[in-house]
Structure 1
């Protein structure tokens, strides 16, 4: 089942489409993080200001250095020991669409753990996957699939057929800004 969904989602993402999919936190809207046109589709669907950046997902922390110029070694420890999903906002973003890079040159990155669908999709895509909550900007983030607005469901190119009936309450990730010198601050706990 997961294998089939990964294959279908991969085809859509590789062709520049956007998907609605279950992540290690809440349901997300995603696309290839190097495809500016696909990223702009997400901004339009969410009616979101492009100055508000979206995060990217990686399948392993070993790929951090492919997308961040100077990764503080603390990042690897934080990811390894985090008990809950953790998004790290780090400066020096590279090798992704400029549409994802904040004005200060940073990008938020989360390494997905214990989420076979996301891990397999990212591995097969061989690129990071954009992830943003499956809601219209300004509205509450849906905790599970049945709370997602029909406008979002209709606006994506593919809805992943996994976990749609789950009522497990999932919450957004903790967001921490990490500077190259090791200073950090929590943006969302």
Structure 2
């Protein structure tokens, strides 16, 4: 019953945003990681838990980075176009989008994400099923060396559930991406209205 109520609540909230509703069956986690090549040119991923994590001190932003919205999360991982959907009163879910670029020599496998503003943050993927949009949780996201991964509307995205405070346009908040080596990367998302994404 709890799962059914959660699925119904997410469906109503996502429709209001609007987003496609989660389906109780398709919301179960996929065992495989997202493919290296997403339908878009670039992609981002991170996730983790609290125990002896390795924090990457992001290099200071230069003027060019500020102008482009490019955020260095480590020496080899960069984020661009990091935004989250503004919410309306009563809505407890939202989505985040960004592009992650791996300039290093090894694949980065993101397995979790977290933020202080929601009880749960997950990697999700939108897909068509029976001519309807559905959504599925992804266990991990992989960013191959020298490539990018994009979280976009209608595709892979960050899913914020159990939001503890309203996402208001113009504000920013941090999301921590965690890889399979317990490295943690902090990215700042800007909250925007749906029609501004």
Normalised TM-score (structure 2) = 0.29
- Structure that is richer in helix per residue: 1
